[in-house]
Amino acid sequence: MRTSYSALETFGICPQKYKFQEIDKIRAPKRIEAVFGTIVHSALKYMFERNPLFPTEDEVVNFFSERFNEKSDAVEWPDASKKERAEKLYYDEGVKLIRNFYAKNKPWDFNPVELEGRFQVEITGDNAIETHTIAGIIDRLDKDPTGDSYEIIDYKTGKKMPSQESLENNLQLALYHLAILKRWPHLKAGQVKTSLYFLKHNEKITAVPNEHRAENAIKIILAKIAEIKKAAETGDFPPVPSALCDWCGFRKICPMWKHIYEEKSETPDESAASNAIKEYFEIKETEEKNDRRLKEIRGIILAYMDSKKIGRVFGSGGYITKMIQERVSFDMEKVKSVLESLGRWAEVLSPDSKKIERLMETLPEETREKLEETEKKKSFIVLKQTKKEE
Q: Is residue 316 part of a domain?
A: no
Asked if 256 and 327 count as a contact pair (C-beta separation under 8 A), the reply is no
Residue 64 and residue 178 in one domain: yes
Q: Tens digits of per-residue pLDDT, 286-320?
A: 666 667 788 888 889 989 989 999 989 998 888 99
Residue 212 within any structural domain of the chain:
yes
Domain count, the chain: 2
Residue 258, C-beta contacts closer than 8 angstroms, at least 6 positions apart: 251, 252, 310
In terms of residue numbers, what domain contains 362? 332-373
Question: What gap in Å lies between CA 272 and CA 164, rounded to an integer?
Answer: 53
What CATH number does residue 132 fall under?
A: 3.90.320.10
Beta strands in 40-170 (DSSP E): 112-124, 131-143, 150-156
Q: Residue 275 domain-assigned?
A: no
Q: What is the pLDDT of residues 239-282, one digit of tens each?
A: 999 988 888 889 889 999 988 887 765 566 777 888 888 888 87
Handedness of CA 295, 300, 304, 307 (dihedral sign): positive
Give the angle subtended at the CA of 257 by the CAs of 252 and 261, to the nearest 5°.
50
- Asked if residue 287 is part of any domain, the answer here is no
CB 183 within 8 A of CB 138: no
* Total-model pTM: 0.69
In sequence order, the β-bridge partners of residue 378 are 327
Q: Of 215, 231, 247, which one is at a domain's C-terminal end?
A: 231
- The answer to whether residue 338 is domain-embedded is yes
DSSP notation for 320-352: EEEEEEEEEEE-HHHHHHHHHTTT-GGGGSSP-
Structural domain contains residue 43: yes
216 & 336 share domain: no
For 73, 268, 283, the CA distances from 293, given in Å and listed in that order, are 51, 19, 8
pLDDT tens for the chain, residues 1 to 390: 889 989 999 999 999 999 999 999 998 878 888 889 999 999 999 999 988 899 999 999 999 999 998 887 777 766 667 788 888 999 999 999 999 999 999 999 999 999 999 999 888 876 667 888 999 999 999 999 887 899 999 999 988 888 887 787 788 888 999 999 989 999 888 899 999 999 999 999 998 877 777 778 888 888 899 999 999 999 999 999 998 888 888 988 999 998 888 776 556 677 788 888 888 887 776 666 667 788 888 889 989 989 999 989 998 888 999 888 777 777 777 877 887 777 777 666 655 666 666 666 666 767 777 777 776 666 767 777 777 665
